[in-house]
């Protein structure tokens, strides 16, 4: 079943890999390489799932996660990062799943399927 998924990461290459993989699986995907537009995209796109990097240069991702969770508690969130400590912090602030970088398309697809079911 296709879902709306919002992907945020300041690395355009990672965003593109995730987008392609999810679109090939039939999902509708919106992306951003700027954390500052996350809440606007969140409101306009109304995703069932957000995949977000924890370290973004222009926003505090934890604050953004908390705000998304406050606005729509049913939206699932996957946090991605190369920093394991920050992934643990994200778990304490409401993300359902975390994924350490680097990862491949099969790993993200499996985690998305788990998060959406």
Each residue's pLDDT, cut to its tens digit, for the chain (117 residues) gives 689 999 999 999 999 999 999 999 999 999 999 888 889 999 999 999 999 999 988 888 899 999 999 999 999 999 999 988 999 999 999 899 999 999 999 999 999 999 998
pLDDT for residue 84: 87
CATH 3.40.50.2300 fits 4-116, yes or no: yes
pTM, rounded to two decimals: 0.94
- CA of 72: how far to CAs of 29, 47, 97, 116, in Å? 18, 10, 17, 15
pLDDT for residue 25: 95
DSSP 101: S
Residue 116 has, within 13 A of its CA and on its CB side, a CA count of 19
């Amino acid at each position: 079943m296709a879902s709306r998924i919002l992907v945020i990461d300041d690395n355009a290459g990672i965003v593109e890999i995730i987008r392609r993989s999810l679109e090939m699986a039939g999902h509708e995907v919106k992306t951003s390489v700027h954390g500052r537009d996350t809440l606007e995209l969140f409101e306009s796109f109304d995703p069932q799932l957000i995949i977000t990097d924890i370290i973004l240069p222009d926003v505090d991702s934890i604050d953004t996660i908390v705000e998304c969770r406050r606005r729509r508690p049913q939206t699932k969130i996957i946090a991605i990062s190369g920093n394991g400590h920050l992934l643990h912090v994200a778990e304490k602030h409401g993300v359902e799943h975390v994924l350490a970088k680097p990862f491949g398309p099969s790993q993200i697809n499996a985690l998305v399927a788990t998060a959406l079911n």
